[in-house]
Amino acid sequence: MEANNKIIILTAPSGAGKTTIKTKLLEEIPELLSFSVSATTRKIRSGEKDGVDYVFLSENDFKEKIDQHEFVEWEMVYPGLYYGTTVDEMKRIWNEGKTPLLDIDVQGAINVKKQFGENVLTIFIAPPSIEVLRERLTKRGTDTAEHIQTRINKATEEIGYKNNFDAIILNDDLTKATNDTISAVLNFISKG
């Protein structure tokens, strides 16, 4: 990694509004940022595209990549489901002269920060409350009740880590949260 190669990480409990903020960020400053496409073993959801939202892999292929040290970080984010950021994806984006935007879980964010330190900006999007989170996950309609409970349990744990991050953005007002995130990103990219 070269001294000026930076990484920006958006992390949040699922349902905190991270995806909306991520989409806005990429729309607003496409000349500076490029979304880092992770690999995962979870099933593709309707509306998702292989190679765009994720690279969807079998568990065997994923484990092969772990053995070959192809990941900057990887986690079993949910029981039996692997997610990881590849070295190749980071290099591809740096070679375009852009900064990779990672949408990864809290443990993954802490892990990347440990490896790359000052070159990483970690942003935690905090939901207003667990109740609002539950409402959003239910409305989204992509998960079963059991999955929602798993995600709520994980969210409760993740909120406990929020002070580990460079910036905490409370998402009680989406427009404000988006603007605050864009400011934090521009500020980080423009320095040194």
| Smallest separation (angstroms) from ligand 5GP to the CB of 123 | 12
CA–CA dist 169, 61 (Å, integer): 36
User: With respect to ligand 5GP, which residue has the nearer C-beta, 4 or 112?
Assistant: 112
Instruction: Give every CB contact of residue 191 below 8 A, 6+ residues apart in sequence.
Output: none
- Contact segment (CB under 6 A) with ligand 5GP among 55-63, 82-90, 127-135, 162-170 equals 82-90
For position 83 contacting ligand 5GP by CB under 6 A, the verdict is yes
The residues pairing with 84 across neighbouring beta strands, listed in sequence order, are 39, 74
Q: Which of 34, 85, 99, 119 touches ligand 5GP by CB under 6 A?
A: 85
Q: Is the Cβ–Cβ distance between 84 and 71 less than 8 Å? A: yes
| Smallest separation (angstroms) from ligand 5GP to the CB of 190 | 26
Q: Which of 15, 17, 100, 108 touches ligand 5GP by CB under 6 A?
A: 108
Q: Which of 8, 104, 125, 137 touches ligand 5GP by CB under 6 A?
A: 104
Q: Please report which helix (H) or strand (E) contains residue 44, including its range.
A: none
CA–CA dist 44, 46 (Å, integer): 7
For position 103 contacting ligand 5GP by CB under 6 A, the verdict is yes
- Contact segment (CB under 6 A) with ligand 5GP among 97-105, 113-121, 124-132, 181-189 equals 97-105
Instruction: Give every CB contact of residue 132 below 8 A, 6+ residues apart in sequence.
Output: none
CA–CA dist 5, 168 (Å, integer): 23
For position 101 contacting ligand 5GP by CB under 6 A, the verdict is no
CA–CA dist 20, 157 (Å, integer): 22
- Least Cα distance to 136 among 124, 148, 126 occurs for 148
Q: Which of 7, 35, 38, 123 touches ligand 5GP by CB under 6 A?
A: 38
Binding site for ligand 5GP (CB under 6 A): 14, 38, 42, 73, 75, 77, 83-85, 103-105, 108
